[in-house]
Amino acid sequence: VLNTFRAACDRLDEYPALHFSATSLQFYAWVFQHDRVLFNRIRRFIRAGRWEVTGGWWVEGDTNLPSTSSLLMQAELAQEFARSRLGVTVDIAYMPDTFGHSAPLPSILRKTGFSSFVFCRPSRREKADLPGDLFWWQHGRDRVLAYRPKYFYGNPAECTHEQTLNKLNDPEFAPGK
């Protein structure tokens, strides 16, 4: 983590148009604990809008098997660290490699401050019956805007860019809806 984040900062210094993002607040806690100079560099890039803290979880964990209370606690711990140490609130949950998601996940996400959810798995091959790559995922009265990227590791282009753009331009998916 230290080497990766140091290299990211070096590239951000070298290329002013470059932006970077990283998940898992645990990573930032390790940097805070072991290299305050690097941590302060990261904070400067965050304030400049060139480094985005993504994910909003302490680690990219399993959201299928753990209890609701453990997921709530993990997200709350991560959000508190993000606010107090990095000066940000993460409102887009990101779970790229979870093999399944429990039905109440939208409620858990809403309760911990997330409005949107980005996931890579299940891929279209693994679960073809989702309403698309961009959709409202609802549990009870809670809903989050869920998005499965077209391209991610090990995934051939299975959906069209036009499908995603059509959804983004649909008034049904407007922010605050």
Using the predicted structure, report yes or no on whether residue 4 has a pLDDT greater than 90.
yes
Highest mean pLDDT among 49-53, 55-59, 73-77, 96-100: 49-53
Predicted confidence at residue 152, as pLDDT, reads 74
Amino acid found at 89: T
Can you tell me the distance from the alpha carbon of 138 to that of 147, in angstroms, rounded to the nearest whole number?
13
Tokens of 157: 């282009």
Q: pLDDT of 154-167, one tens digit each?
A: 655 544 556 555 65
Tokens of 106: 């939208």
Using the predicted structure, report yes or no on whether residue 176 has a pLDDT greater than 70.
no
In the chain, which ranges are continuous DSSP H helix? 2-14, 25-34, 36-47, 68-81, 105-111, 161-169
3-state secondary structure of 22: strand
* Reported confidence tier of residue 85, pLDDT bands at 50, 70, 90: very high
Using the predicted structure, report yes or no on whether residue 117 has a pLDDT greater than 60.
yes
Can you tell me the distance from the alpha carbon of 28 to that of 82, in angstroms, rounded to the nearest whole number?
9
